[in-house]
Amino acid sequence: RLKELELPTLGHSDVLVKMLAAPINPADINMIQGTYALLAPLPAVAGNEGVGRVLEVGPGVAALRPGDCVIPADAGLGTWRTHAVFPEDSLLRVPADIPLLCAATLGVNPCTALRMLTDFESLAPGDSVIQNAANSGVGQAVIQIAKAIGVRTINVVRDRPDLPQLVERLQALGADHVVTEDALRKPEMKEIFKSIPQPRLALNGVGGRSTTEMLRHLHPRGTMVTYGGMAKQPVTVPVSAFIFRDVRLRGFWMTQWKKDHDKQSMASMVDALCQLVQKGQLSAPACTTQPLQDFRKALAASMQPFTSSKQILLL
């Protein structure tokens, strides 16, 4: 529910922030449902991501000043609110020229995409990657970041009524190939691999049958990284894939990566992503904005099937 709260007093190292925009991500929904691996003590403000503007800083704050744009450095801050007092260490500054929706959606999906593209296989220009959930926030970021580094993408989506429009939109982002889950078993896949190499990296945000079918096209000794499970079904791997092709299955959780790395590592990654935004190589995912008072409508829309537009709360 929407509630009015009194702001705490600004402490020595605290920052008063006017929140501007915050997305609704699947992890936010799972936290509210109580099914996520990270749960905030109740009562809690929801929202793990967003962008705000600094209004005031405590006397001990060194790196931030009024007027700066900031995003959370970690999950669990509670961004679905108009104002907040945060510790300086929990925030990262982003350049003021980053578009609002880009900044609001920068800290989770693009970071996840960048880490998965760089941490598991040494990809070089001309290599390829295959991913499902290609129309998701992560999927759209993978397409754009891969394009920027010269890596080709094979993008798997579910069949849907507006498939031609979706294919066109993903291709406009830089997708090399867009196929449906059903096409993964068809001869057209052989045609794709006549012009590009088999991928050594597969990115899985779905689980279930989609994962098993995608594995068929992974290069021997390639790696599949699972970062989501939208189908709510287990990852099933044929024994032959392990024995005869020695594929590797890994998992990735951006929150754990943040726990394992210092704030400077996060800041450097965000800076690299901001540079891509400034060069026009990375844009916000398809978004629909809603005022905070319409949060119920935004939540309902974010849980609809075949959702290709991220709901953003304007604060």
Q: Distance between CA 88 and CA 257 in Å, rounded?
A: 20
Write out the catalytic residue numbers: 36
Tokens representing 34? Answer: 């109580």
Residue 55 CB coordination number (10 Å): 15
Give me the DSSP letters along 210-233. HHHHHHTTSPTT-EEEE---TT-B
Contact between residue 122 and residue 98 where contact means Cβ atoms under 8 Å apart = no
Q: Which helix (H) or strand (E) holds 16?
A: strand 14-23
Cα→Cα distances 17→2, 53, 81, 112, 283, Å: 19, 5, 10, 25, 24
What is the distance of C-alpha 168 from the center of its chain?
21
Contact between residue 105 and residue 49 where contact means Cβ atoms under 8 Å apart = yes
Q: What are phi and psi of 15, to 5 degrees?
A: -135, 130
Contact between residue 96 and residue 277 where contact means Cβ atoms under 8 Å apart = no
